[in-house]
Amino acid sequence: MNTAINNITKLNKNKVVFILGATGTGKSRLSIDLATHFSAEIINSDKMQVYKGLDIVTNKITDSEKQGVTHYLLGEIDPHSDFTAEDFYDQAIFYIEKIISRGYVPIIVGGSNSYIENLVENPTFMFKSKYDSCFIWIDVDVSALEPFLHKRVDHMVQAGLVDEVREIFSPEADYSKGIRRSIGVPEMDKYFREENKFDACEESMKKMLLESAVKEIKVNTCNLVRRQHEKIKRFRNEKMWPLHYVDATNVFKENEKEGADDKWKHDVLKPCLDIVKEFLK
């Protein structure tokens, strides 16, 4: 009897899909794949990507990568403001209701688990009583993810990370507020303070200083991954969230793009399509 009542209650709730995972694990790619299959729209829950600017540093998804899927809270917020977990709740609920009213499924995706936890768990908001949630955890073993993240940082530097951060550099900058908290910004501070002190004969010293900053970005990115992973495990083990675990490790071990794409479709996309299809019944 209780099971039947619970099933009826779930049927009366609006459905929301969450994609969790550490940085670099493929959350954005999965969200687009699911959105194009299930007529969904996406709400970004990455606390740095909500801000306008620093598209390279924050690794925002590009317009072409969006494949026409509508995104919310992606590059919307003033970069100098402090966008809190409470602010995220207010905006997320507004967009969830907007998406549902238009006949689409809301997909919330991003690595800022404090935003998601506050949205789902805060007793004042009563999220669980209003929405039926599907949580997908896409995970990659650290042995495969860290080399990928190192290469990604190198690609970001090649794409213009240094100049992008230089544009917002200020000696009086507060790295505890707004978009300046992004990994890739405070790490460049010493380099920008020192770069003009070297003459042509000291280019090697300047290069070493930049390499040190890039190395720090890589270290801090990998440290973030570990913190994100532990928090998601806490959602599962302590808060008993019903997470659907999807292992994408083999995708990152595959060197050839075609092989990686096949692994993605088999190891990640297919099980996630099955999960969401069952959830939306």
CA–CA separation, 39 vs 13, rounded Å?
18
The residues pairing with 71 across neighbouring beta strands, listed in sequence order, are: 42
Q: Cα angle at 265 between 259 and 271, to 5 degrees? A: 145
Lowest mean pLDDT among 8-12, 83-87, 104-108: 8-12
Residue 43 backbone dihedrals phi, psi, to 5 degrees: -110, 120
pLDDT > 90: percent of the chain:
85
DSSP the chain: -HHHHHHHHHHTSEEEEEEE--TTSSHHHHHHHHHHHHTEEEEE--TTTTBSS-TTTTTPPPHHHHTT--EESSS-B-TTS---HHHHHHHHHHHHHHHHHTT-EEEEE-S-HHHHHHHHH-TTTTHHHHEEEEEEEEE--HHHHHHHHHHHHHHHHHHTHHHHHHTT--TT--TTSGGGGSTTSGGGHHHHHHGGG--GGGHHHHHHHHHHHHHHHHHHHHHHHHHHHHHHHHHHHTS---EEEEE-HHHHH--SHHHHHHHIIIIIIHHHHHHHHHHH-
On whether the CB atoms of residues 131 and 13 are closer than 8 A, the answer is yes
Q: What is the pLDDT of residue 1?
A: 44
Q: Answer whether residue 8 shows pLDDT above 60.
A: no
Domain ranges in the chain are 2-142+228-280, 146-219
What's the predicted TM-score (pTM) here? 0.92
**Tokens 């404090």 belong to which residue?**
114
Q: How far apart are CA 222 and CA 33, in angstroms?
A: 26
Phi, psi of 168 (to 5 degrees): -110, 5
Measured between its terminal Cα atoms, the distance across the chain in Å is 21
By CB atoms closer than 10 A (0-12, 13-18, 19+), residue 276 is buried
Mean pLDDT of 245-267: 88
Query: Left if phi > 0, otherwise alpha if psi is -120 to 50, otherwise beta: which for 199?
Result: beta
CA-nearest of 83, 61, 109, 114 to 228 is: 114
Q: Which residues contact 44 (CB under 8 A, 6 or more apart)?
A: 50, 71, 72, 73, 74, 109, 110
pLDDT tens for each residue of 186-223: 999 999 998 877 665 577 888 899 999 999 999 999 99
pLDDT tens figures, 113-152: 999 999 999 888 899 999 999 999 999 999 999 999 999 9
Mean pLDDT (the chain) is: 92
**What average pLDDT score do residues 105-111 get?**
95
| Residue 181 · residue 54 · CB < 8 Å | no
Beta bridge partners of 106: 41
Instruction: Please tell me the distance from the alpha carbon of residue 8 to that of residue 198, in angstroms, as a whole number.
Output: 70
Token code pair at residue 45:
């829950």
154-170 pLDDT, tens digit per residue, is: 999 999 999 999 999 99
Pick the CATH number of 2-142+228-280 from 3.40.50.720, 3.40.50.620, 3.90.1280.10, 3.40.50.300: 3.40.50.300
Query: Please, are residues 144 and 254 in contact by the beta-carbon 8 Å criterion?
Result: no
Reported CATH class of domain 146-219:
mainly alpha
Q: What confidence tier does 5 reach under pLDDT thresholds 50, 70, 90?
A: very low
